[in-house]
Every structure is written in structure tokens, then in C-alpha cells.
């Protein structure tokens, strides 16, 4: 079964600093990978996705992620954090081997942005 590991349940950065949220997946076949953001008391919003095209994926709100097969990673980055980026971030994976379209989520990383 596929799994996703997000290192760091809480990450705190200063406004203007680099944001790095880590995600590693386990799969014998490179899956499709996603990052979602959840603001307090809201649903999940798709930030970006990797679907076997370019390995560097750009998303909304200035976020990007790089798929590294050798490291089985899909880390999320943003060059300069804004206060509005404070939220919960989830990495998720789809299992292409089975075609099962349900997403398997990581445990989430709460991003805090300090003024």
C-alpha cells in the first residue's frame, strides 16, 4: 500500500523567509502527487500537482514543488512567506498501479508565519 510521510507536524518561519515543507512517498511506481492547503475551518484547496510531466511543478500563491524519484520526495517550497500562508498543508498520493483514485494523505504540516 502506498503511504505518505510529512516530516514535521509544525513548521514556523518568519515573514519573508523560505518555506520548506517535506513530503516523502513510498511506492514502487511513481505516483501522482498533490499538495493541498487547508485554512482554518475550511475545505482543502489544491495547491499543485505532479502527474509525470515536468518534475518542477508550479502552483498557486507562489508555491512550487519538485518531484525527485531518487529520493521519493515531493517537497513544497515558497521563496518568501506571507502571513496569509499560515495554514495546514497536506501532501497526498494517488495509486496509479491500481487506478484507485482515492487519495492517501500525509498527516499534515501546520505552517506558522511569524511577523
Partner 1 sequence: DTAVSQTPKYLVTQMGNDKSIKCEQNLGHDTMYWYKQDSKKFLKIMFSYNNKELIINETVPNRFSPKSPDKAHLNLHINSLELGDSAVYFCASSLTDTYEQYFGPGTRLTVT
Selected from 36, 63, 67, 74, the binder of partner 1 by CB under 8 A is 36
Q: How many residues bind partner 1 (CB under 8 A)?
A: 22
- Residue whose entry in the numeric block shows the C-alpha cell 501546520: 110
Please tell me whether residue 7 binds partner 1 under the rule CB under 8 A: no
Of the candidate spans 11-19, 44-52, 63-71, 72-80, the one that interacts with partner 1 by CB under 8 A turns out to be 44-52
**Alpha-carbon dihedral sign for residues 72, 8, 56, 92:** positive
Assigned C-alpha cell, 109? 504540516
User: Are 52 and 30 in contact, with CB atoms under 8 Å apart?
Assistant: yes
Exactly one of 34, 35, 63, 67 binds partner 1 (CB under 8 A); which one?
34
Q: Does 17 bind partner 1 (CB under 8 A)?
A: no
Residue 28 burial class via C-beta count within 10 angstroms: exposed 0-12, middle 13-18, buried 19 and up = exposed
- Give the bridge partners for 36, in sequence order: 46, 90
Q: Is 10 in the site for partner 1 (CB under 8 A)?
A: no
Interacting residues with partner 1 (CB under 8 A): 32, 34, 36, 38, 42-46, 49, 51, 88, 90, 94, 100-105, 107-108
Amino acid at each position: 500500500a502506498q503511504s505518505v510521510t510529512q516530516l514535521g507536524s509544525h513548521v514556523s518561519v518568519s515573514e519573508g523567509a523560505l518555506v520548506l515543507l517535506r513530503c516523502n512517498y513510498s511506492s514502487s511506481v511513481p505516483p501522482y502527487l498533490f499538495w493541498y492547503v487547508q485554512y482554518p475551518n475550511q475545505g482543502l484547496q489544491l495547491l499543485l500537482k505532479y502527474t509525470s510531466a515536468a518534475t518542477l511543478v508550479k502552483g498557486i500563491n507562489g508555491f512550487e514543488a519538485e518531484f525527485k524519484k531518487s529520493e521519493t520526495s515531493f517537497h513544497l517550497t515558497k521563496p518568501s512567506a506571507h502571513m496569509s500562508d499560515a495554514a495546514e498543508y497536506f501532501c497526498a498520493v494517488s495509486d496509479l498501479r491500481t487506478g484507485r483514485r482515492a487519495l492517501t494523505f500525509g498527516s499534515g504540516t501546520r505552517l506558522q508565519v511569524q511577523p
